[in-house]
Amino acid sequence: MFKFVFINGKLVVENRAKISVKDRGFLYSDGLYETLRSYRGNLFMLDAHVLRLFHSLKVLKYNIPFDEEYVKSAVIKTVSKNNLSRSDAYIKIIVTRGIHSGELHFGGGYKPNLVIIADSLTPYPEVDYTEGINIISSSIRRSAIGSPLYCHKLLNYFENIFAKNEAHCNNAQEAIFLTRDHLILEGASSNIFFVRRSVVYTPPLTQNILPGVTREVVINIFRENRIKIRQKKVHYRDIINADEIFKTSSVAGIVPVKKIDRFVVAGKVPGNITSKLMKLYGDKVEYSKKKFYLRKT
């Protein structure tokens, strides 16, 4: 069966879906992307992903000729054309600045390219959720406030894949970035949380980390359920002494951690708060499924 990719308004058979080598995404990683997933057709948090994309497109001065509704309906069309409307799917929305005109600055009269890919989702191993994963701290150290660019989902993902490879070489599934003075920032492809004496901690957005869509959902779940959540600067020594650790991302959801570097999480994994969260997150997905189908009909 053919797979179809959305390129600038057209659904094209995958092996004919082409972007010029002069595209600035290819030449300079000058582009943004979003990754989201569906649960049996329900495009979970689609609005929030598109909102984050458009915020970054605006801040980074992409010259966008389409609006949020156009992108959302293009995602739905791409999912449907690939017969994924009832399956678990992986969706990537990519916007590049367009063909390079010679000017490196943003004012070269650029016409962005919009690409949407939808594929069936390969689930993560069940043991990741039942027993937890290993994480490491990356050798890459960021400055205390990172860079204002880290809060956008830039196509330039090399630091992240480098850190992921460090994790892979050390028998771990995720790497976390620290500042030079050992404050925790975020995972290479996730946000990071830990629990200490029944209080949940996660680094604040003021440290220029990605404002994860799942991070936001999780913070709201904690607030709704009166579980104490603090967004504050946290040190490496706090996480290695944590009672529970977990990471969040759109594709993997909530994933418990059993070991960080050489430090094993002392309590059971997943711990009480993580288990409760995993259940409440599952409920949220179920609830939004009903709302999503109502909205489509």
**Under rule CB under 6 A, residue 215 binds ligand PDD:** yes
Stretch touching ligand PDD by CB under 6 A, among 17-25, 73-81, 126-134, 210-218? 210-218
Give the total of residues touching ligand PDD (CB under 6 A): 16
From 78, 250, 274, 288, residue interacting with ligand PDD (rule: CB under 6 A): 250
> For ligand PDD, which is the closer residue by CB, 113 or 250?
250
From 42, 137, 138, 248, residue interacting with ligand PDD (rule: CB under 6 A): 248
Residue whose C-alpha is closest to residue 239's, from 247, 228, 227, 249 = 247
**Under rule CB under 6 A, residue 38 binds ligand PDD:** no
From 155, 175, 210, 234, residue interacting with ligand PDD (rule: CB under 6 A): 210
| Smallest distance, ligand PDD to C-beta of residue 244, A | 19
| Smallest distance, ligand PDD to C-beta of residue 104, A | 25
Q: How far apart are CA 40 and CA 37, in angstroms?
A: 9
Site for ligand PDD in 189-208 (CB under 6 A): 189-191
**Under rule CB under 6 A, residue 288 binds ligand PDD:** no
Number of other residues whose CB lies within 10 A of the CB of residue 147: 9
List contacts with ligand PDD (CB under 6 A): 35, 160, 186-187, 189-191, 210, 212-215, 248-251
